[in-house]
Structure 1
Amino acid sequence: MGYEDKTITCVECGAEFVFSAEEQALFASKGYQNDPKRCVPCRQARKARRDDSEGFGYRPVRQMYPVVCAQCGKETQVPFEPRQGRPVYCSDCYNAMRTSQ
């Protein structure tokens, strides 16, 4: 199939860019059915933003709260805000309590 250069307007910046016959053949060989909507600089910027966002499975950093273990007195941090009057344990004491039950 013969391809001819096409001039396309970028949807992001509005600049015109050439979608060359070689690029069209490459897109066809990869199975792409649509012409690009963005010029090369806008495509690269979009990819960089996507790579920076950590993508799927990204979790924000959890806030940790400093506490003193109710059993051994060791200072530690927990991922929840402790309630007044409820004991909080370090991971060692908590795991020891769980296995003894």
Structure 2
Amino acid sequence: MTFASWLDTVTLPTTRFLLDVFSKVIFAAESSELSLLYVLSYIAAAANETNSGTIARLTGITNAAQAKRVVGGTGLIASKLAEKIGYERIALNTSAQSITKTCSG
């Protein structure tokens, strides 16, 4: 069942409108492009050890799923890792043939 087909069963027009907007804002997709199961599992995944997953946790800021951010953006994670291992060791536009894990202290 798509999210849109489930929304067709919602009788309150305002609720249907808001959930349709939620689909576009959170998933950047039309409600007809999403399964109801995916939407429900995504909402549930917004939970943590003290809060249930809710639409409010996905759209809110304070104490919500979106509350924690990486200062400077998540691109910094890759940049800092690249600096640590050395840019010259990074091969772009190539496929990996094998990966070897070594232990160094």
So what's the TM-score if we normalise by structure 2? Answer: 0.27
Rg: which structure is higher? 1
So what's the TM-score if we normalise by structure 1? Answer: 0.28
Q: Which has the higher strand share?
A: 1
Q: Which has the higher helix share?
A: 2
